[in-house]
Amino acid sequence: MEYRTLGRSGCSVSALALGTMTFGAETDEAGAHEQLDVFAEAGGTLVDLADVYSAGAAEEITGRWLAARPADVRDRIVLATKGRFPMGTDPNALGASRRHLRRALDDSLRRLGVDHVDLYQLHAWDPLTPLEETLRFLDDAVSAGKIGYPGLSNFTAWQLQAAVDLAEHRHLAVPVTLQPSYSLLVRDVEFEIVPACLHNGLGVLPWGPLGGGWLSGKYTRDQRPEGATRLGEDPGRGIEAYDRVGARQRTWDVLEAVQDVAEQRGASMPQVALAWLADRPAVTSVILGARTTDQLRDDLGAVDVTLAPEDLARLDAVSDPGRADYPYGDVGAEQRSRGPAGP
């Protein structure tokens, strides 16, 4: 397992993180504890949670695992969780207000059975709460010892920049990470979001690194998904909806390339997709989201996969999302360029 610093912080974390969104839903408690054991035994340290995962059950399951493990195992785990989305029906049971985040953080700590988490992330931008109110809460939580570092999730580039600039201007705790959706099938974050992270020293923690299961090779063009898969149970599910993603020729071109590289390297398709992503600029740790322990074991095998330059070049080319002439294409790039020799 490789280790990297958590963005602009001095905290080291594993280059692969364990996501817990399946805990308490698609993965029962025994399966979740088994995943946590396998992850820790493989040298994994960063465990990513959120209060909304199974309505708090994921944190409770992880908390019971922590309580049952020896101190040397617990002490290696870097805990990250998130707050912002609804945890009730009250008007103040969501958002990034001081009122909601105070309760959300305290509830997360209680469910986890700990007195602090290492990384506390805003799960998304809140258009109603003044940004300074949110950042001052996070700074207070750092000062109180309840969180080690603040982080962001699902922020656009301008939102990220606004948060960093305001925190630095007010001398508040500055966010150290950003969680975006990022994979061979979702690369638009490279236009503005990843450069903003690089500019500000934020580590990228990609979620959905297998495109909701697409990059595992389990879905085909000639048969709609069915059975015990995420899209088999709900073909219209979110960002990975079958009709939406399957309608793009680029999807099938990417899958073909990943399969070819996997066969050449003696690896699985998920391992190739994860190895490509872990090598991208600004990426600190790739968040794995497995239903089963066997899937997790296979994903963890990505640490042993080294892609050749020609592999990376092929995957980069086939997954290129394309861009209009302006502002990200050749026309826009030319207007922003300049050489030291002048015109």
> Which residue numbers are catalytic?
53
Q: By C-alpha distance, which of 257, 268, 295, 241 is closest to 27?
A: 295
CA distance 333 to 123: 32
Other beta carbons less than 10 A from residue 318's beta carbon: 16
Q: By C-alpha distance, which of 167, 160, 176 is closest to 46?
A: 176
CA distance 260 to 250: 15
Q: By C-alpha distance, which of 191, 211, 201 is closest to 276?
A: 211
57 exposure class (CB count in 10 Å sphere: 0-12, 13-18, 19+)? middle
Question: Which pair of tokens denotes residue 263?
Answer: 């066969």
DSSP string, 163-204: HHHHHHHTT-PPP-EEE-B-BTTB-GGGTTHHHHHHHHTPEE
CA distance 111 to 27: 18
| CB proximity list for 79: less than 8 A, separation 6 or greater | 47, 49, 62, 112, 114, 117, 118, 119
Instruction: Tell which phi-psi region holds residue 77, choosing left (phi > 0), alpha (psi between -120 and 50) or beta.
Output: beta
Angle CA 164–196–244, to nearest 5: 120
Question: Which pair of tokens denotes residue 208?
Answer: 């959905």
Q: By C-alpha distance, which of 263, 280, 259, 267 is closest to 306?
A: 267
Question: Which pair of tokens denotes residue 239?
Answer: 């960002």
Question: Which pair of tokens denotes residue 238?
Answer: 């979110």
Instruction: Tell which phi-psi region holds residue 136, choosing left (phi > 0), alpha (psi between -120 and 50) or beta.
Output: alpha
